[in-house]
Amino acid sequence: MKEKLLAKFQEVYGDTEGARVFFAPGRVNLIGEHTDYNGGHVFPCALTIGTYGVARKREDQTCRFYSMNFEKLGVITVDLTSPLKPDEKLNWVNYPAGIIWAFGEKGMKVSQGMDVLLFGNIPNGSGLSSSASVEVLTGYILKTFFGFNVTNQDLALIGQFSENKFNGVNCGIMDQFAIAMGKKDNAIFLDTADLSYTYAPVKLEGAKIVISCSNKKRGLGDSKYNERRAECEEALAELQTKLDIKSLGELTEEEFEANKSLIGSEVRQRRAKHAVYENQRTLKAVDALKANDIATFGKLMNASHVSLRDDYEVTGIELDTLVETAWNVEGVIGSRMTGAGFGGCTVSLVKDEAIENFKEQVGKTYLEKIGYAADFYVVEVGDGPAEI
C-alpha cells in the first residue's frame, strides 16, 4: 500500500522528496446508538480500514490536496494567507481545511503549506466515519509536522470542534474519539457525559465483525437527526420538571418507567425510552464482553436494533432488511444498524464458518427486496492514527 501511495504522490506532485505516509482508521459503533448526545455511553472500536495520507511540508503558504477517491476533482488548493472559511468549491477538502482552521482557533497557527494525497478504503456515505477519519488524520499530520503539543484525545476534540463550527454538522464526540483513541483488539467504553473511558477487549474467538453497507445514501438523515435530538431535549426538559437530572443517560429503566408520564407526547416518550434503555443495554453489553459472554452481547445488539426501529424510528426498509435477514442466518450471533440510520451500515457478529453463507443469503434477499446490491466488509479492530 505504501509503495502504491508514494507512486501516486510522485505522479501528482512530481517527486516524493520529504513525503511521509500516515493512516487513521474508520470506526464502527458496536452498541450505544443515539446515546452520545443524550449523556449516555457508547461502545465503538477503530477498524483496520480507514484513510491513508501522504504529506510533505512546502516552503510557501499553499496547501495542495488530492484524493484518489475523487480523482476527477484533481488538485484542490487552499491559500493559508487568506482566512479559511467553508466553501462548496473545496468539496471534500472542507474537512482538512476545517482542521487547519480549528488548530488556528486553538492558538496553533499553521503557517506553512503542505502537499497532501489521500486514499480511503472506507466506503463513502456508509456511516463508518470517513469524514472523522480524514479529520483525525489531518490533525495527526499537523501535530507531527509542526510539533504541536496535543494528545490524541485533543485531536478528537479538535475534530469535533471543526465539524461543528466549520462544517456545520452538529455531531457528538464519538466518531473522532473512537478513531483518535483506537486500540487494537479493544473497543472503547466511553461515557459521553464526561469523556471518561476504559478499553474493553473484543475477543471474538471463532467469529468476526461483518459490516453490511446498504449503499443507500443518507439524504434524509441530517434533518431527521436534528429532529430526534430536539425531541429528546424536549422530553428531558419535561422530566426535569420533577427530576434532578442533566441528561437522559442518568436514568435507569425503572426510574424512566416511573416518571415517563411527565412526557407529554407518546412519540417523545418512545424517543426518550430508546435513549434510556439503549444506554443501559450498552452497560450490560460491556459487562457481557468482559465476562466473555458473546451470546448475551449478540442478544443486546438485536434488542438495540428493535429499539432503533420501533422507538427511535431511524432504520428504514434497507437497514431492516439487512438486519432481519441476518437474524435468520445460522451462525449470526447478533446484528444491528450502526451509525445515524436512514441508510449506511449494519454491524453483525458472525461465526467464521458462517461468513460466506451470511454474505450470500443476506446479499440475495437484499438485492431481491431493495433492487440494488449491498456490500460486505469483514473487518478487524485496529489501532488509532499512526505514521507508517
pLDDT in tens, 219-277: 545 678 889 999 999 999 999 999 999 999 999 999 999 999 999 999 999 999 999 99
- Report, as an integer, the average pLDDT of 355-373: 98
For residue 112, what pLDDT is reported?
97
The closest of 155, 162, 194, 161 to 178, measured between CA atoms, is 155
- The answer to whether the Cα torsion of 63, 69, 71, 73 is positive or negative is negative
Amino acid 126: pLDDT = 65
**Cell numbers at residue 89, please?**
468549491
Q: Compute how many other C-beta atoms are within 10 angstroms of the C-beta atom of residue 84.
A: 21
pTM for the full model?
0.90
Check residue 205 and give its pLDDT: 87
Just give the CATH number of 207-379: 3.30.70.890
Beta bridge partners of 14: none
Catalytic residue among 15, 60, 79, 175: 175
Q: Indicate the average pLDDT of the chain.
A: 95
- Which of 91, 195, 174, 182 lies closest to 140, judged by CA? 182
Q: What is the DSSP letter of 381?
A: B
> At residue 14, does pLDDT exceed 60?
yes
- Annotated active-site residue 175? The verdict is yes
> What would the pLDDT profile of 180-218 be if each residue is shown by its tens digit?
999 999 999 999 989 999 999 998 889 999 999 999 876
Q: pLDDT digits over 59-112, tens only?
A: 999 999 999 999 999 999 999 999 999 999 999 999 999 999 999 999 999 999
Percentage of the chain with pLDDT > 90?
Answer: 89
CATH code given to domain 2-202: 3.30.230.10
Residue 124 has a pLDDT of 66
Domain boundaries, the chain: 2-202, 207-379
Mean pLDDT across the stretch 152-169? Answer: 94
